[in-house]
Structure 1
Amino acid sequence: MLKIRNICMLQRRWKSGKRRWNVLQHKKNNCDRALDSFDDFYGSVYGGRWKNMRAALLTEHKYVAMVNNFGDTEQTCSMLEMDGAINIKSLIQLARERQESGEVGGGEGGELNLATRAHYDIDGKLDALVRKQEEREVAAIYPSSASEDGHVPPQQLKYDKETKKDELETETESTEFKQSLTRALEEDVQLDESRLVDPQFGTGGLYEYVPANRIKGMEDWVAESEHYKYYQTNVDFPLIIEPDATLQYPEHLAIYTYEMGNCADFKPPRQCLTGVLSHFLMDGASVLPPLFLQVQPGERVLDACAAPGGKSLLMLQTLHLDQLVCNDVQESRLNKLRHVMQEYLFDYKQRWAGKRLIFSHNDARNLDEYGSYDKILVDVPCTTDRHVLMHQDNNIFKPTRIKERLRIPELQAGILANCLRLLKPGGSLVYSTCSLSPVQNDGVVHMALQKVFTDHGITTRIKDLSQHTALLGDIYRFEQPKGLKYGQMVLPYLPANFGPMYFSKIMRDT
């Protein structure tokens, strides 16, 4: 007789290795790494203000609309004004009128001057951050303060090439060994012959031990703490800081924005009767570096790191330029720049390409037309703080790009120093980044000024732009209290979610 057995069906969790939902949920991506780094770094530098900046960076940023002067200009301006947008030129004029009437002079302007003179202790905060980061790096390799066998890790990890100090220590160890061996022989100590190496079996084992004063394979390793050490404040070169000339807003430049607190979207560009697009949308803070460069008719201008092209296009929209040289290190980025110019410049091939608009494919550190430019825009590659928090692709915080990221200040300083040499005496440039990092901002400016003075005898002047930023307080949130020495910075701020954008204007004397 057959017996019927009960069959119990047990649910079995599907094993899919690294693709299991709980693994993927806790897996860090590039944006997470960037946010962790910013929380540590910017949280230490900006303190309680970082919380609001962080919220703004994690929110979609705000745009402005730059009207194309080579399209249907009047119709485009009317369309934008009907949607409630305001011309930045009119806002600057209103701010000037308030200053002249005294409304700003005794209040906001006075606070700005106090902020300009105020000392903001970034030095101490960065020093503390470097010490903390060094301790983390040592702890990552020596997790505990003392291992089970009582071994205590070194106070500082040595990852560079052998120094003179290492050689002296090794020589001391060798001397002590020889002295102890001599003393043993003199005292007629019996040696354990069973531990001697028989030459017939080779002596290679004698050379396998290497004193652990360095870690093998880490010769090219760059410590995270080294990145912050690029920031310096000791001045050993002539430093003059003076107010910039009165801001001359270009007559034909029309840029529209919505009032602070209004985060409405602009309509997409439309095609004009001339075949070009009506307006160009860009981050509102990106208009400031080319605007403060104040290009004039008859000048030869270089955009050293031009792609993707918004700042170059703005300088062309002033209708002042006789010749603009757009340079970039990557051919793919240069092709995108060409595409932008074709979309916005009427009769591009006949009137612009190769004549008033020249494209250059070079590393900006290697450009050698020294003393030949009146104005230069130096918008250098940086950590692109907002981009790395929102996009996984091409993220500088990708693990395979660690060395590239940590050496960014070195790259930036090299570009800025070479561009100072490209300027004519009396010419000026604007250095800019889209980063909140004091290392990439004031730190790089300091490094470059020191380098060109030491290596080439070039003296410069820093142009204080605080009078210009005072006219734009209704549009942007600027760094207050002013913790900057060489420039100004737009801070991410939810009601006016532009930036971040740091900019410093430098004039070459000799």
Structure 2
Amino acid sequence: MLKVRNLLFLQSRWKSQRWAVQKRKKTNTQRALESFDDFYGSVFGVRWKNIRAALLTEHKYIALINNFGDTDKTTNGMKLDGALNIKSLVNLARERLGHYDAKPAKGQDTTNRADETLDKLLREQEEREKHALYPKGATDSTALIPDQLHYRKEEATGKKNVLENDYNAKNFEPSLEEAIETDIHIDKSRLIDPQYGTCGLYDFMPANKIKGMEDWIPESDHYKYYQTQADFPLNFELETEYYYPEKLNLYTYEMGNCSEYKPPKKCVTNVLSHYLMDGASILPPLFLDIKEGDRVLDACAAPGGKSLIMLQTLHPDILVCNDVQESRLNRVRKVMREYIFDYAENWENKRLAMSQCDARYLDGYESYDKILVDVPCTTDRHSLMEDDNNIFKTTRIKERLRIPELQADILSNCLRLLKPGGSLVYSTCSLSPVQNDGVVHMALQKAFNEHGITVTVKDLSYVIKLFEDIFKFEHPKNIKYGQLVLPYLPANYGPMYFSKLTRKS
């Protein structure tokens, strides 16, 4: 006879199992954190603990004062609230530095600590993948585990990464056909003639790939985008001069001060008083060093903050804001309408143009003086804070692993859009050496091998000293092609990587 308590017990058990399943389900932010702990923990060592804490904390903003609004009123309000003009901080740092004794550019010392770290990570990741595919004890012999996994890039539409096992030919047994022709001990009378049946045994071929593996991409493939050997001309030039835009007004609070800004207000010109953005985002457009009359391209413009900074310098002759989707361009248009006075009548299609195109396929080569290439990336801080639109979503694994390839294609094409002598700044909001130095290296190699373009890498290790009172920078010895703003609790900006390149030919 079934007792009531047994029914209750079964119901309770079912509920507990259900809760256990729900408990085990990971969020996108948890997947991102696990990935970063594994990857960045190896890259940054003991420093990762502090960087991690900063990334998981609300980031710090910088206020861009709108030159088309009540400029004096807004700046006075900022000063009364204790905010500091970045231009004044830069000038103080310039006086403190005094005369600079020139040191060798980065390119003269090509040692890069990240090289060895990434090589080690790649080997470890490959080992994990090998043993995941060929676990110990799964076969009679472990000799079938390949020593190395190689990946072939197919040129067909929708390029696929196909897994190939690189066995040494001498370890292969003879094929079925070879055995039939050479082995006199085989009883050929037992072979089945195809004309008498459709069983297919005569045409049987041993399986050489696992069904479903065609679209599988190993995690280690991501690290393979990081290359260090240069088979192209590589020139470095130390940048010793920096000119802060006279009309640009940016305000911040001193290091350690986490005060919040007042919300933007409508001005008498019907535009907003100031624009708030992550502080590190100001550096790529600042180091692009736009001059009066420059023709400028923002290749991946949304959401529009960096484009707004470039316009607020009042220097560009024309700024072209490009992005791949109309919805993203609408975000840029919204920012411009809110902050540019008389935008529709005097700006759009005159001094400010919108372009919808995949930046990998933009044409109009050798037509821009300056280009900002702020590419799509893993957006590390967003990935740790927001589940929505998170690149670590399980359905976006392929997209995430192929990000460096996308970034390199965008950068190499933008180098073609530069006039000889023109400058470009490549930037990401990621800590990843693969997406940063690795992509720059790959793009320079591609631009030279396919189009004969040679580039000078601008070493900004001196001029960033002007901003060290505001930002925490990575040590130059750990980076080859650019600079990196590290998240740091007293100055919680970034991450932001940026590399400045000048086209020679």
TM-score normalised according to structure 2 size: 0.90
Asked whether 1:134 is paired with 2:126, we answer yes
Give the Cα separation in 2 of the matches to 1:235 and 1:147.
41
How many residues are matched? 491
1:420 to 1:201, Cα distance in 2 relative to 1, 3 A = same
Q: For each residue in 1:59-95, what CA deviation from the matched residue of structure 2 results, as whole angstroms up to 9, or x when unmatched?
A: 1111011100000001111111111111111111111
| 2:158 alignment partner in structure 1 | none
1:219-258 matches, cutoff 5 A: 219-244=214-239, 246-258=241-253
The Cα shift of 1:25 comes to 2.5
| 2:157 alignment partner in structure 1 | none
Give the Cα separation in 2 of the matches to 1:392 and 1:16.
29
1:139-178 matches, cutoff 5 A: 139-144=131-136, 146-147=137-138, 149-150=140-141, 153-155=144-146, 156=148, 160=162, 172-174=174-176, 176-178=178-180
1:207 to 1:429, Cα distance in 2 relative to 1, 3 A = farther
| 1:184 alignment partner in structure 2 | 185
Query: 2:163, 2:213 within 8 Å by CA — same for their partners in 1?
Result: no
Q: Which moves more between the two structures, 261-270 or 500-509? A: 261-270
Give the Cα separation in 2 of the matches to 1:140 and 1:363.
37
Give the Cα separation in 1 of the matches to 2:498 and 2:300.
14
Give the Cα separation in 1 of the matches to 2:426 and 2:373.
5
The Cα shift of 1:122 comes to 1.5
Query: 1:115, 1:480 within 8 Å by CA — same for their partners in 2?
Result: no
| 1:383 alignment partner in structure 2 | 378
Asked whether 1:27 is paired with 2:25, we answer yes
Give the Cα separation in 1 of the matches to 2:220 and 2:375.
22
Give the Cα separation in 2 of the matches to 1:19 and 1:373.
61
| 1:299 alignment partner in structure 2 | 294
The Cα shift of 1:141 comes to 2.4
In structure 1, runs of 5+ residues without a counterpart are 1-5, 186-190
Query: 1:334, 1:361 within 8 Å by CA — same for their partners in 2?
Result: yes
The Cα shift of 1:165 comes to 7.4
The Cα shift of 1:233 comes to 1.0
Give the Cα separation in 1 of the matches to 2:185 and 2:131.
40
1:451 to 1:115, Cα distance in 2 relative to 1, 3 A = closer
The Cα shift of 1:18 comes to 10
1:196 to 1:473, Cα distance in 2 relative to 1, 3 A = same
1:42-441 matches, cutoff 5 A: 42-100=40-98, 119-144=111-136, 146-147=137-138, 149-150=140-141, 153-155=144-146, 156=148, 160=162, 172-174=174-176, 176-179=178-181, 181=183, 183-184=184-185, 202-206=197-201, 209-244=204-239, 246-441=241-436
Tell me which amino acid in the other structure corresponds to 1:388. Answer: S
The Cα shift of 1:50 comes to 1.0
Q: Pairwise CA RMSD of aligned residues?
A: 3.0
The Cα shift of 1:476 comes to 0.4
Query: 1:115, 1:482 within 8 Å by CA — same for their partners in 2?
Result: no
The Cα shift of 1:131 comes to 1.3
Tell me which amino acid in the other structure corresponds to 2:26. Answer: K
The Cα shift of 1:426 comes to 0.7
Pick from 425, 447, 461 the counterpart of residue 452 of structure 1.
Answer: 447
Tell me which amino acid in the other structure corresponds to 1:147. Answer: A
Secondary structure at the counterpart of residue 94 of structure 1:
helix
Secondary structure at the counterpart of residue 276 of structure 1:
coil
Query: 1:197, 1:203 within 8 Å by CA — same for their partners in 2?
Result: no
Query: 2:64, 2:251 within 8 Å by CA — same for their partners in 1?
Result: yes
Tell me which amino acid in the other structure corresponds to 2:432. Answer: S
| 1:188 alignment partner in structure 2 | none
1:127 to 1:326, Cα distance in 2 relative to 1, 3 A = same
TM-score normalised according to structure 1 size: 0.89
